[in-house]
Structure 1
C-alpha cells in the first residue's frame, strides 16, 4: 500500500522548493541585477583617492545617484547574506534536536526579529524537508495488514483519550532560572524548553508584561509547563541527586591536590529545593520564619546583656545551644541564599539548597506543604480545630514558640499574634518560660481564657460599628486542652485550637513528626497533605532560654583555644578583622580566588586549631552527599593552595594541613591576625605585670581593625564575630588603666562607638570628661547613650543620669576604677 505520509511529504517538498527558490533569487538574483545596472561595488583599481574625492565634491548627477543607490543595495544584500549564514549556522548546530523535536523550529520563529523572520522561515523549511524520511511504497503481507489494523485501532483509542488536553502545570520563576534548566529539572529534557516558551508567551505576568524573549526571565513571573511535568515530578529522584550533570571523579589523596579541579556545574535551586523547615533536634522542626524570629531575639538579648557587662578578658563565653545555633544560622543563610547560589556556581561546588526567605517580621507560620510555609491565619476558620494524635503536643509546642518568637520585643509595639492559654498548659508545654515574655496571656483556667478571647472579639466588633479603629493586635490564638463547643464561634482574627479534644468542627490527627495523617471537617483541606512544625521537649527548653528576657545567647568558641606558638611569625599573614586580606612581608597582595575559596580560607584562619571535616562541611553548607562534599573540599583546598603558591612563589608548601578528620592552616608558613589577637588577649588576662599587660593589650588592639570578616555575611562567622568584638572592647577599657588621661579618653570613645549601649563604658567616659573639664562632652555622651538605649527599649540608670551634673554626687574616674576592681572585675 502507499505510505500514509505521502501528501504531507508532497506539501513539505513544495514548501522546500519555494523556500529554495526565494533564497536563490535573493542571494544570486539581487547581486546579478546590481552588477548589470551599476557594475562592481568597489572603485576601479586605476582610480586614485584624489579622483574619488573630486567626484564627491561635484554636484549630484544622475549617474552618481544611481551608483550611490547601487552601493546602498550592495550593503543591504551583504546584510541579508550575513543573516543567511547566521541562521544556517543556528539550524546546523541543532540538527539532532530538530530531528527529535520539530517544534523547536516554530519556537525559534517566535523569537527572531522581523528582518530575520523570512530567512529563518526559508532555511528552517529546507532543513525540516531534508530531515523528512523517505518511505518507499510497499505491499504488505496479510500478517502486516492485520497488525496495521490493530495499530490503527489503538491509535484511535489514544486519540479519543487525549481529545481533552490536560491543564498545564504552573511554575514560578526563581532567581537564576532559565527555560533550559527548567525544562531539564521539570520535564527531564532541556531540549523541550520551546514547549514551555510556547505555552507561556500568551500569559500576562504580574508586572503587566509578557514573555517575548526566551533568554529574559524575571523572578516572580509565571510559566506554564506541559501536563506531563506532573508525572516527571513524581518519578524524579530527590533534587540533590536528580538529573545532575556528570562529574569527573577526583583522586582524594593529598599528593594529587595540585591537579586542576573539575566538577559538574551545579544547577540553580528551584522553589521546591529550598527548605522552609529547620531541624533543631531529634524529631523537631520549626519554620524558617520562626528561626528568623529566634535569631532576632538572640541579637536583642546580646545587646541587653552587654548593657551592664563589666570588662572581663578571662571570661569564657557560654555555649550557644544546638537548637538556637541551628535556628540562627539558618536565618543567616536565608538572608544570603542568592549569593550562596552564585558563589557555588562560580566555584563549581555543590552547596546545600539555601533556606527559603522567611516571611515578614511578625508573621506566624504553623505548617508546611510542598516547600511553602502555611500561615497561622489559614486556621482562623469557623468551628476551630482539634489537634489529636501522638504529634499534637509537639505541634502545639512549636506553634507557641513561633508565636512568641514573632512578638516584637521593643515597646510600645503590640504583637501581631497573641497566645492565650491556661497556666497549667503553659507550664506543661513551655516549662521555665518567663511570664513577661511578650506575645502571650496566661489565664487561670479555661473559662478565663475563653472569656479573654471572646472579649477581644466583642471589642473589635464594637469598634467596627462605632467607626473606631479596633485593637492593633491582629490575631488571638486560643490554645487549650479539650475546649468546649461554645469556643467554636470564631472570627477571622481568632484561631481556636483544642489539644486532644473532639468537640470542635475540624480535626487533624498528627504523627509524631507533625505530619497530618488525617484531616476531617468542613475545612479539612487546609491541612491536607501538610506537615505541622513540631518541637520535642529538649530543644524547646533551649529555645525558651533564648526567648527569656534575662538570658543571653552567646557564641560557643570552643575551637578558639591557646596552642603552642612559633617563635617567628611566617611571612604570609591572613587578616580577617575588618575584612579578608592577604599580606606578604607586610604588604597587601590581591586575592584572586573565587568567593567560595575565600570563605574556605577565612574559616580556617578563624580557627587556628583547625576544624573537623564534619564541622567544616556543615559550616560551609556543602552537599549532604559525603562523596560530593569530600570532592568539593578537595577542590577548595586546591584553589587555596594554587593562589597561595602563586603569591609566595613556593611550589612545595602545603599551606593547608589535612589529616584524616581535620583541616588547619600550617602555622609554619601561614599566620592569621585571629591567632595574634587571641594569644594577646590570653596573655593580658593571665599576667599581672603592668608593662607586659599593657603590651599585650596594645598588640590585641593593633590587629583589631573591625568586625571579623566584615563585608562577608558568612553564617558561621556570626558567633565568632560577636565574641572577638566584645574582647576588643574589653581590651580597650582595660588599657585605659595603663595610659594617660588623653589616651584613655580616645580609647573609651572608641569602645563607646563599638558598643554604644554599654552603660559601664559610658559612665567611665563621662567621669573622665568631667575630670578633664569637659562637662558638655559628658552631657553629649549621656544623650548619645539615651538614644541608643531607646533602640533596645531601655533607659539609662539613675547612676548614669547623676553623672550629667557634678552636683549630683559624682565620683571620680579613679574612685570608679577602685570600686570596680573591688567588685570582682577580672582582667
Structure 2
C-alpha cells in the first residue's frame, strides 16, 4: 500500500518550502507540522542528511506524511542512499540479538559530536533571558512555540551562565558597603575572579578584595562574594560588551563614558549589539531601576519588552523607573538612571535635562566619548579603553525566536487537548507493575532491575528520560548532542547507550527494553511505562466521564504530580527539555485539571479542592487561575484566611502590590473583601 510522501520543493524567489506551509497545504492546519516532524525526525534523506533538532528541510527531501494528508501521492518505498534496515526479529528466549545488544554506533560507528552553537547573546544575557522565560512559566503565561523557538531556548539554556550572573549581582550590591567605595568603569568576570577596572588608583582595599596595578584594578576571587541582602546595585548602568580571548565577560559602565557611546563598523553587527544592550538593560537584575528607552530598534524588541522599553517621548516626560525613581532624581549620584538606545541611523531624539541619561547609538563614531568598533566577524575593540572582545549580539533570528517564546498564550476559553493519549490506556496500577518505570512529573526517577553504577545513575537517568519522552525514537548521535551539548566523542555515547540498555534490562522474551528501530533510532519497548503516559490516559478518560467519575479521575491524575517536569535537575543538565513539548503540556494540563476539579467539588468538598490547587501550584507556582481559586476558597473561611493567602501570594511573587502581579487577581480580592487593599502592609 505504501506511504504518502511529499517532495520538498526548490526555492521560488525568496520563498522556501517549510514544514508549517506544507502542513497547512496538505493537512489544513499549519500547527500540524509537528506530525510531519515526528514522522521524519532522524529519517535519512537522499543527500545523506537528516531532519534533526532545528535543521531546515532541504529541496528534494522526501517527507513521509500522515495518512490524512491531501494532494500528496502515495509511494511504495522511500528511496535513500542507504536502504533502511528491516526491523530485527525479537530474539528467542536465551539468545542474544547483536543488533539489539549493541548501540547504533557499534554497528556503524558514531562520529564525535561537536559543541552546540550557542546564541550570540552571550552567557550573562542568556541567563537573564532564561530567567525571564522561567518567570513567565511560573505565571502560566507560556504557550506552545515552534521548533526553531524551542531550539533557541535549548541553546539559551546551554549557553546561560547563571553562576556568573549571581556572583556579579552580589558584587555590585556589596560595593556600596565598602570603604573606600570603588566606582569601576569596566568589570571583567571570569570563573576564577571578578576584576574592577577603576578610573583612579585606590591602593587600599578591604579584604577579601586584592589590589593590583597600583590600585587601578581590584580583584575578588570567585567564592568570596558578599551577601549584601537587599542593597541596591552600585553600578546599574553596567552592560556586557562581550567575552575576551580567555573566556571572561567584559562589561562597561555607561555612566563612566560621561558622554555618548557609539557602536560603529559593520552596520548589521552594530545594530545587533545595540539590540543586545536593550535586552540586557531590560532583563538583568542590577539594571532593574534604570529607565530604558529606544528608537530605531527592531519592532519585536519593543513588543517583547513592553512596559520596560520606553519611547523617547516617555523618557523626556520623566517616566518613572521601575523602582520608583524618576529620570531626574536617579538612584545615586554618579550613576545613570536612564539609557537611550538609538539604532538604524535614526536622528538623535531630545534627552531629559540634567545629564543623567546615557546615550548609546550606531553611526560613524564622530564626536563620541567611547567607540565600540565591531567588524563583520563579531570582533570588537572598545576605544579608548583598549579592550578587545567577541561582541555580544542579538541577531534577527534570535530576536524573532525570543518574541515567540515570550508571546502570551492565547486565551480562547477552551480546555487544552490531551496530546496523543496511549492506546490502550494505562493506569497507576500498570505503572506500578511495569518492569521499567520512568517518573518525570516532579523529580526524575527511573526504576529498573538491572545493575547501575551509582556515579553514573544521574546521567543514565537523563538518557532514559530523554528516550522515553521521544516515543518516535531518537538517534544515538542526537541523544549524544542532547546529553552533551558542549560536545562529546562517539565512543562515550556508545558506551552510555550500552550501559543504559544493561540497566533497563530485558523483557520476558529476552528483548532489551531499550531497542532500535529500522532507522537505528533508540526507542523504549512496551515494558517501559512513564507517569506521563498514565497522566494522559486518566485526563483523556475524564473528558468523556460524568461529573462524579470525572472528579475521581482528575484526583487520581493529580496524585501522580509532584512538581514540574525535571524538578531540581542538576545544573547544566536537561537543556533538551526546552525542545520537547512535554514540559509545557504538563504545566497546561495540570493547571487545567486542578481548576476543573475545583469547579466540580469546590462547593461540596473544599478540602479536596484546596488539595487540587496545592498540586497545581507545585507545577506553576504563580498561576493566577489557581491563585484565584485559592483566594475564593479562603474567603469562605473568613477574612483572616483570605488575608493570609494574599500575603502568601505576595511572598511567592516577590511583589508588594497585588496589582503588579495580576490586576484581575487584585480586582477579585477587592470584590471578596471590599476595602481590604491589595498591598503589603509595612511591618
TM-score range, shorter chain: 0.5 to 0.7
Q: Output the CA distance in 2 between the equivalents of 1:531 and 1:483.
A: 28
| 2:611 aligned residue | 747
Distance change (3 Å), C-alpha of 1:744 and 1:336: farther
Do structure 1's residue 668 and structure 2's residue 530 form an aligned pair? no
| CA RMSD after TM alignment | 5.4
| 1:442 aligned residue | 312
Q: Output the CA distance in 2 between the equivalents of 1:253 and 1:492.
A: 70
| 2:198 aligned residue | none
Distance change (3 Å), C-alpha of 1:594 and 1:477: same
Do structure 1's residue 794 and structure 2's residue 661 form an aligned pair? yes
Provide Cα deviations, 1:248-275, integer angstroms capped at 9, x if missing partner. xxxx954445999xx9xx9xxxxxx999
Secondary structure in 2 aligned to 1:433?
Answer: helix
Distance change (3 Å), C-alpha of 1:801 and 1:788: farther
Distance change (3 Å), C-alpha of 1:380 and 1:558: farther
Correspondence list, 1:233-382, <5 A: 254-257=100-103, 279-280=118-119, 285-306=120-141, 317-319=144-146, 321-322=149-150, 324-326=152-154, 328-330=156-158, 364-370=239-245, 371-377=247-253, 380-381=256-257
CA apart distance, 1:623? 5.7
Between 1 and 2, higher relative CO (CA 8 Å, sep ≥ 6) is seen in 2
| 1:415 aligned residue | 288
CA contact (8 A) 2:594 2:616 kept: no
Do structure 1's residue 515 and structure 2's residue 382 form an aligned pair? no
| 1:700 aligned residue | 557
Decide which of 581, 586, 604 is 2:445's aligned counterpart. 581
Correspondence list, 1:115-514, <5 A: 254-257=100-103, 279-280=118-119, 285-306=120-141, 317-319=144-146, 321-322=149-150, 324-326=152-154, 328-330=156-158, 364-370=239-245, 371-377=247-253, 380-381=256-257, 386-389=262-265, 391-407=266-282, 415=288, 419-421=292-294, 423=295, 425-426=296-297, 428=298, 432-433=302-303, 436-438=306-308, 442-443=312-313, 469-470=332-333, 473=336, 476=339, 479=342, 481=345, 494=358, 496-500=360-364, 502-504=366-368, 509-514=373-378
Q: Output the CA distance in 2 between the equivalents of 1:655 and 1:767.
A: 48
Secondary structure in 2 aligned to 1:279?
Answer: coil
CA apart distance, 1:692? 5.0
Do structure 1's residue 540 and structure 2's residue 399 form an aligned pair? yes
Decide which of 515, 536, 539 is 1:657's aligned counterpart. 515
Task: State the TM-score, normalized to the length of structure 1.
Answer: 0.47
Secondary structure in 1 aligned to 2:312?
Answer: strand
Distance change (3 Å), C-alpha of 1:395 and 1:656: farther
CA contact (8 A) 1:657 1:664 kept: yes
Do structure 1's residue 599 and structure 2's residue 444 form an aligned pair? no
Distance change (3 Å), C-alpha of 1:583 and 1:617: closer
Distance change (3 Å), C-alpha of 1:799 and 1:510: same
Secondary structure in 1 aligned to 2:253?
Answer: helix
Provide Cα deviations, 1:674-707, integer angstroms capped at 9, x if missing partner. 221123233334x253355334323322322333
CA contact (8 A) 1:681 1:696 kept: yes
CA apart distance, 1:738? 4.5
Q: From the CA coordinates, give the structure whose radius of gyration is larger.
A: 1
Decide which of 592, 598, 623 is 1:758's aligned counterpart. 623
Secondary structure in 2 aligned to 1:366?
Answer: strand
Flag structure 1 segments of 5+ consecutive residues without an equivalent: 1-251, 267-272, 310-315, 338-354, 450-455, 809-827
Secondary structure in 1 aligned to 2:303?
Answer: coil
CA apart distance, 1:614? 5.5
Secondary structure in 2 aligned to 1:534?
Answer: coil
| 2:484 aligned residue | 621
Do structure 1's residue 727 and structure 2's residue 589 form an aligned pair? yes
CA apart distance, 1:459? 6.8
CA contact (8 A) 1:757 1:788 kept: yes
CA apart distance, 1:299? 2.0
CA contact (8 A) 2:291 2:339 kept: yes
Decide which of 804, 807, 812 is 2:673's aligned counterpart. 804
CA apart distance, 1:612? 4.5
CA apart distance, 1:573? 1.8
Q: Output the CA distance in 2 between the equivalents of 1:546 and 1:757.
A: 18
CA apart distance, 1:655? 1.2
CA apart distance, 1:288? 0.9
CA apart distance, 1:325? 0.7
CA contact (8 A) 1:605 1:674 kept: no
Provide Cα deviations, 1:459-503, integer angstroms capped at 9, x if missing partner. 79xx9xxxx94276467455453889x99xx99994644424545
Aligned residues: 479
CA apart distance, 1:523? 1.9
Task: State the TM-score, normalized to the length of structure 2.
Answer: 0.56
Provide Cα deviations, 1:402-446, integer angstroms capped at 9, x if missing partner. 343343599xx963665554x3x13x575653674425552599x
Provide Cα deviations, 1:36-93, integer angstroms capped at 9, x if missing partner. xxxxxxxxxxxxxxxxxxxxxxxxxxxxxxxxxxxxxxxxxxxxxxxxxxxxxxxxxx
CA contact (8 A) 2:158 2:485 kept: no
More helix by share: 1
CA apart distance, 1:600? 0.6
Distance change (3 Å), C-alpha of 1:565 and 1:776: same
Secondary structure in 2 aligned to 1:654?
Answer: coil
Moved runs in structure 1, 4+ residues, more than 6 A? 355-362, 490-493, 557-560, 566-569, 587-592, 648-651, 805-808
Q: Output the CA distance in 1 between the equivalents of 2:339 and 2:624.
A: 38
Q: Output the CA distance in 1 between the equivalents of 2:493 and 2:611.
A: 42
CA contact (8 A) 2:124 2:162 kept: no
